[in-house]
Amino acid sequence: MRRVAWLCALGCAVAAHGCALEPGEGFARLEPGTLRAAFEIGPARALAENRLLTDEGYRVELARCRLTVRDFELQSLDARSGGGEASFDPADPPDGYSLCHGGHCHAADGSLVSYDEVQARLAGGNAVWKPVARVTLGAELDLLAPSARALARWEPATDLPEVSIARAVLRLEELQCEGRVEGDALPAARTLQVALPLAAANLHVSLDQPISRDGPASLAPAVRLRIDGTLFDRIDFAARASAAGDGPVVLEREDVAALESFVGAVALTVQLRTGKD
């Protein structure tokens, strides 16, 4: 009888322990986060509100500026088939990369690859980034009148497995701006239009957040994107104005200089706010 009672007690204890983490139940929960994007010129370049001075002496005034964001993703690094750590010198890029600056390198396929991804590829060989959770946005953010956008519909689920979150990725689609540009190299002020595709300028931030039985119980990402007053640096507006004739000065399509200026002007920060049960 005692043996039966002992087995019953053991069975109840095992059952109770199982209830703490049912099959399919996560180790942590993703709570709604926030995304905020803003154009912040900074005192070194600001002439007035939404008006800036470029490194080439042009004066740009923006009346409208919107950034379309595709999605936000948390990732883990799968380096099980890799071969250890590696580092590289941005001043001497490894084979397959060139023009490393501003936290990114130009890959041979034309994409912009972050320093941490270059290093991961060098270290891991077959190492790959794996998605942990994603929020699809397809949102157009007003950079001149910023407001917080919710990160709420997590896919595939709000429950996280046991994993180490190593990176956050913000995928962009397009920068659209309207305004005017003037300067000594221009005979008169010109209308400026920006319709710059940004699929090659995905933004990455390295993270180090393990998810395990030891916690945390919940995560709520706070994502902030800032674009500063160097947005139009290194752009020869006089040459573009000459090519445009009587039409507006346009930055669009495969404008490599404009894309590089955008990447150099962007700062992305991601804070994973943790919670306990």
**The predicted structure's pLDDT at residue 17:** 36
Side-chain half-sphere exposure of 88, counting CA atoms within 13 A: 24
- Token pair 């407001």 is at which residue? 147
Tokens of 204: 């990455």
Closest CA to 166 of 222, 208, 113, 131: 208
Tokens of 67: 């950034």
Mean pLDDT of the region 121-150: 87
End-to-end CA distance of the chain: 39
**The predicted structure's pLDDT at residue 133:** 97
The 10s digit of each residue's pLDDT in 26-42 is 799 999 999 999 999 99
Q: How many CB atoms lie within 10 A of CB 61?
A: 16
Which residues lie closer than 8 Å to 12 by C-beta, 6 or more apart? Answer: none
Domain ranges for the chain:
29-79+127-275
The 10s digit of each residue's pLDDT in 206-244 is 898 999 998 899 999 999 999 999 999 999 999 999 999
Grade residue 25 by pLDDT with cuts at 50, 70 and 90.
low
Residue scoring higher pLDDT (1 or 213): 213
Q: Decide: 139 and 132 in contact? Cβ < 8 Å.
A: no
Characterize the bridge pairing of strands 28-30 and 159-160.
antiparallel
Mean pLDDT of the region 136-150: 95
Residue 8 clears pLDDT 70, i.e. is over it? no
**The predicted structure's pLDDT at residue 277:** 59
Please report, rounded to a whole number, the percentage of residues in the chain having pLDDT higher than 90: 61
Average pLDDT, the chain: 84
| 3 state DSSP class of 76 | strand
Lowest mean pLDDT among 10-24, 147-161, 261-275: 10-24
The 10s digit of each residue's pLDDT in 171-220 is 999 999 999 999 999 999 999 999 999 987 789 888 989 999 988 999 99
**The predicted structure's pLDDT at residue 7:** 31
Residue 161 clears pLDDT 60, i.e. is over it? yes
Residue 111 clears pLDDT 80, i.e. is over it? no
Residue 257 clears pLDDT 70, i.e. is over it? yes
Grade residue 94 by pLDDT with cuts at 50, 70 and 90.
confident
Tokens of 155: 């896919």
Backbone angles phi, psi at 241, to 5 degrees: -65, -40
